[in-house]
Structure 1
Amino acid sequence: MKTYLPQIERRILVRPNQTYGILNYDLDNAYPQRMLELVAGSPTAKDCWNKRTKFIAGNGFEAAGLGKQIINTNGLTIAKLLKALATDKALFTGFGIHVNYNANFKISSVNYVKFEDIRMGDTDCPETADKFAIYNDWGRKTWKNIMRSKITFLDKYDPDAAVIQQQVTAAGGWEHYKGQLLYFNPEVDDYPLIEADSVWEDFETEAGIKIFNNREVTTGFLPSTMLFMQARREEADNSKPDADEFAGINTPSQMEQDLGAFQGVKSAQKIIVIEYEDENSKPEFKAYPIQNNDKLFETTERSVESRIIKGFSVPKELINAEKSSGLSNGSEKKQAIIEFNDNTAADRADLAETLAEVFSHFYADINSANNWAIKPVPAIAADDNPGIKAGNAINTLLASTIPAKNKIAALVYAYGFKQNEAEAMCS
């Protein structure tokens, strides 16, 4: 028996792409690129991504001096590699490491590869099976078409000497060998979703609110208005010789120019003059009522922000700079840091284990202690003492003999409590 749930759709669809010999990352093969653009347009999502990156990278390696070790001819250090891998792990839940070998079958160089540039080879294509395609413009932002000649295929990571020799022979010798790619992917033979894929629609919503607010400001918060008139006083001349070449780009009429100049934050106090010959040709402006966008957007913005924070599994104390009251509670932030360190411990362990595996085959011993553990972010809340002092001051205030209305006023204006909260405390 088959069960069909029409209301549930897969977040991404993986299909073979015979043209390039890869598996498409969603129908347009640009799921990571789309998610990057959505996150870039959402301040809350960007902040959550940065917070996850910070906690996954932690406070560096426990082994002293390990982060300064250079691992390729371009001067890449292990500390920089850790930060780059943590950035991808925080959003995409995976990462990529390119390694190359010397004739002794030891890793001679290690490089970081952007996760969004990696595509899996088509398992049904003998030429690209067990390989990964690397290309820096799958989303077609730079070029209209993907150039097959610029796609680099790398073999899957396997440090076994026999496997490496077979790959070198197939490539035509060491001078043509391009190395291997370690593709860390939490999924099995599938592409992963981003960390907060369940709320990516909220990224778009928050970005839309931001654009709407900007449009309101640039138009001087003018109300939506309809203009009724018999005919324009001056028609624009769009009968130029090059009109066909610039189709869709018409010269505005004088009326349109005047109305355009009337809008905007720098033109809000200007006066527009409209001439008409008689009462019948007098233009009429009519504002039409719309919903109260301020309240509507304020409520939507709060709920969207809350869902994005929950989608990234980041404690809200680490994202929201403004507390529900003006009293800063250092112990809450400290507890949030401890909690988030615990939540990201598995991610740090994944990075540590992967780096230990890769550099166990490195041509030089750069970590003699073989300690690849990553230190978590220290749970030191700098505002512990101010919070304690403020708490003591409030207790002293409440225990004093001054009138209740004075206590309430102090709690509201000095400590930032809400009116009902202050009244409840003084009841």
Structure 2
Amino acid sequence: MRVKDLKKNSNKRIDIRYLQQLGIQAYGEDNLYPQTLKNIVSASSTGSECADRFADFIEGNGFREVSFSEYVVNRKGDTADDIHALVCRDIADYGGLALHVNYNILGEIVELQHIPFENCRLLEEDDNGYVAKIAIHPDWSGCKTRKGTRIKISKENVDYIDVFNPIKSVVQAQIEDAGGVEYYKGQVLWVSMAGKQTYPTGKADRVITEMSTDEGLSNIKLRNVRNNFLPAGMMVSKKGSSIRYDEQGNEVKDKKEEDSGFSDAILMLQGDVNSNKIMEVEIEAEEEEPKFVPITIQNYDKEFTVTDASVVERIYSAYGQEPWYCIRVGKVGFSGDILEDAFEYYNSIVSKQQRLIERTFDRVFKYWYEIANPSNDYSVQPLKYVRNAGVSDNN
């Protein structure tokens, strides 16, 4: 079938519109795409596991140049390696990163800070298609508080900072416009793997439905174990009765007979702690010896076995982590050789993200006020599988 004959009403992954009151391009219809994405991934056990592994391999063992990795880059005492670790997490989660740089009066970069990527929004393009500033808010959902008061989503609480442009004449002009270097807010280097001035979707976006399904399956398993009825059976016996009369000759019913509900019994027979108990039911009719009636339990886990397996496989596949999936389901054995191959394979998968980060650090430290990395090597030492000394692969 031709492309034009296929379904044409597929929704865009990100709806972008202009928020006039803030002067920004919304990141998703509600401007909360990265926050929502992060919550869905965190709620999926499989998704968060794959995302963590993805971030770990991007970070590797840090910069190869140890002296540079320990170099302090801001007044808080953060090192280059500290910033690198935070950047790798953002790249893994969203496919983008943001760094804030400060300049001295000579137009040289003197400080580097990490900005959480989910806190950044793009301003609208000008007539030349150029985005001049990045809007930054500590929490676009409006839930974060300071001194017990929520930080509203308003222009007064948003920092509008110039985009990265280290040309000295540009920097000095911006410093002058700000009223001096002490009032200058610096610049933001905003980078997206989706392209220049384009909001990225992140690797999880392609399997976001599967991740939400994974959360739902976990909830079903929980309720199946915690809230299902798990008695071994019930003992049915005859309930004795006695008739009493008051002083006026009226029949007096026993209060226990009126309380014929099973609410207490239900609570005592639900969940894993109360499994395999016996429920006793008293009846007033049919005079016969007690009998045991076995109860068949409805196990919902079996109903979702196929769905569970396909969801897990697709999430692993989206992150390119098939070797770990094969080990998990038993398609291949668990040995040092296989893990070494898996590590080598996945290091090649994350090389694109690592190269992007290398180029980003190079762009910043070209304009640093001193030579912070004489070798100019910003590459990352990849993760390697380390065998336990003296332990056989068969153990």
Alignment TM class, shorter chain as reference: 0.7 to 0.9
Displacement after TM superposition at 1:313 (Å)? 1.6
1:207–1:21 distance in 2 versus 1, CA, 3 Å:
same
| TM-score of the aligned structures, taking structure 2 as reference length | 0.78
Aligned residue number for residue 371 of structure 1 = 377
1:337 alignment partner AA: F
- Aligned mates of 1:124, 1:276 — CA distance in 2: 82
Aligned residue number for residue 112 of structure 1 = 114
- Aligned mates of 2:390, 2:213 — CA distance in 1: 36
For residues 366-411 of structure 1, what are the alpha-carbon distances to aligned partners after superposition, in whole Å with 9 as ceiling and x for unaligned?
A: 1112221211222555599734xx5xxxxxxxxxxxxxxxxxxxxx
Aligned residue number for residue 313 of structure 1 = 320
For residues 325-351 of structure 1, what are the alpha-carbon distances to aligned partners after superposition, in whole Å with 9 as ceiling and x for unaligned?
A: 6x4232222112111111211211111
SS, match of residue 374 in structure 1: coil
Displacement after TM superposition at 1:190 (Å)? 1.9
- Contact kept in structure 1, 2:97 and 2:190, CA below 8 Å: yes
1:217–1:145 distance in 2 versus 1, CA, 3 Å:
farther
Aligned residue number for residue 347 of structure 2 = 341
Displacement after TM superposition at 1:85 (Å)? 0.7
Between stretches 342-351 and 374-383, larger displacement belongs to 374-383
- Aligned mates of 2:61, 2:127 — CA distance in 1: 43
Displacement after TM superposition at 1:270 (Å)? 6.3
Between stretches 133-142 and 109-118, larger displacement belongs to 133-142
Q: Percent identity?
A: 28
Flag structure 1 segments of 5+ consecutive residues without an equivalent. 224-252, 280-286, 391-414, 416-427
1:76–1:293 distance in 2 versus 1, CA, 3 Å:
same
Is residue 212 of structure 2 the alignment partner of residue 210 of structure 1?
Answer: no
- Aligned mates of 1:258, 1:146 — CA distance in 2: 51
Aligned residue number for residue 243 of structure 1 = none
1:276–1:131 distance in 2 versus 1, CA, 3 Å:
farther
Displacement after TM superposition at 1:71 (Å)? 0.5
Bigger share in strand:
2
SS, match of residue 14 in structure 1: coil
- Aligned mates of 2:65, 2:106 — CA distance in 1: 28
- Aligned mates of 1:63, 1:39 — CA distance in 2: 33
Pairing 1:154-165 to 2, within 5 Å after superposition: 154-165=161-172
Aligned residue number for residue 252 of structure 2 = none
- Contact kept in structure 1, 2:230 and 2:274, CA below 8 Å: no
- Contact kept in structure 1, 2:27 and 2:121, CA below 8 Å: yes
Flag structure 2 segments of 5+ consecutive residues without an equivalent. 145-149, 232-259, 287-294
- Aligned mates of 2:127, 2:110 — CA distance in 1: 30
Is residue 196 of structure 2 the alignment partner of residue 188 of structure 1?
Answer: yes
2:92 alignment partner AA: A
- Contact kept in structure 1, 2:16 and 2:26, CA below 8 Å: yes
Aligned residue number for residue 59 of structure 1 = 61
Displacement after TM superposition at 1:216 (Å)? 1.7
Aligned residue number for residue 95 of structure 1 = 97
1:263 alignment partner AA: Q
1:209–1:21 distance in 2 versus 1, CA, 3 Å:
same
- Contact kept in structure 1, 2:103 and 2:109, CA below 8 Å: yes
- Contact kept in structure 1, 2:90 and 2:96, CA below 8 Å: yes
- Aligned mates of 1:341, 1:347 — CA distance in 2: 10
1:319–1:71 distance in 2 versus 1, CA, 3 Å:
farther
The RMSD of aligned alpha carbons is: 3.3
Aligned residue number for residue 11 of structure 1 = 13
Is residue 331 of structure 2 the alignment partner of residue 329 of structure 1?
Answer: no
Aligned residue number for residue 219 of structure 1 = 227
- Aligned mates of 2:32, 2:11 — CA distance in 1: 18
Is residue 173 of structure 2 the alignment partner of residue 166 of structure 1?
Answer: yes
- Contact kept in structure 1, 2:105 and 2:172, CA below 8 Å: no
- Contact kept in structure 2, 1:63 and 1:372, CA below 8 Å: yes
Pairing 1:212-361 to 2, within 5 Å after superposition: 212-222=220-230, 256=263, 259-260=266-267, 262-268=269-275, 293-317=300-324, 320-321=327-328, 323-324=330-331, 327-361=333-367
- Contact kept in structure 2, 1:329 and 1:384, CA below 8 Å: no
SS, match of residue 26 in structure 2: strand
- Contact kept in structure 1, 2:57 and 2:346, CA below 8 Å: yes
Aligned residue number for residue 176 of structure 1 = 183
1:329–1:166 distance in 2 versus 1, CA, 3 Å:
same
For residues 207-258 of structure 1, what are the alpha-carbon distances to aligned partners after superposition, in whole Å with 9 as ceiling and x for unaligned?
A: 11111111122214459xxxxxxxxxxxxxxxxxxxxxxxxxxxxx986566
- Contact kept in structure 2, 1:121 and 1:133, CA below 8 Å: yes
- Contact kept in structure 1, 2:71 and 2:80, CA below 8 Å: yes
1:383–1:332 distance in 2 versus 1, CA, 3 Å:
farther
1:141–1:154 distance in 2 versus 1, CA, 3 Å:
same
1:384–1:308 distance in 2 versus 1, CA, 3 Å:
farther
- Aligned mates of 2:123, 2:348 — CA distance in 1: 35
- Contact kept in structure 1, 2:101 and 2:109, CA below 8 Å: yes
Displacement after TM superposition at 1:266 (Å)? 3.5
- Aligned mates of 1:184, 1:31 — CA distance in 2: 17
1:139 alignment partner AA: S
Aligned residue number for residue 394 of structure 1 = none
Is residue 148 of structure 2 the alignment partner of residue 132 of structure 1?
Answer: no
Aligned residue number for residue 424 of structure 1 = none
Aligned residue number for residue 40 of structure 2 = 38
SS, match of residue 65 in structure 1: helix
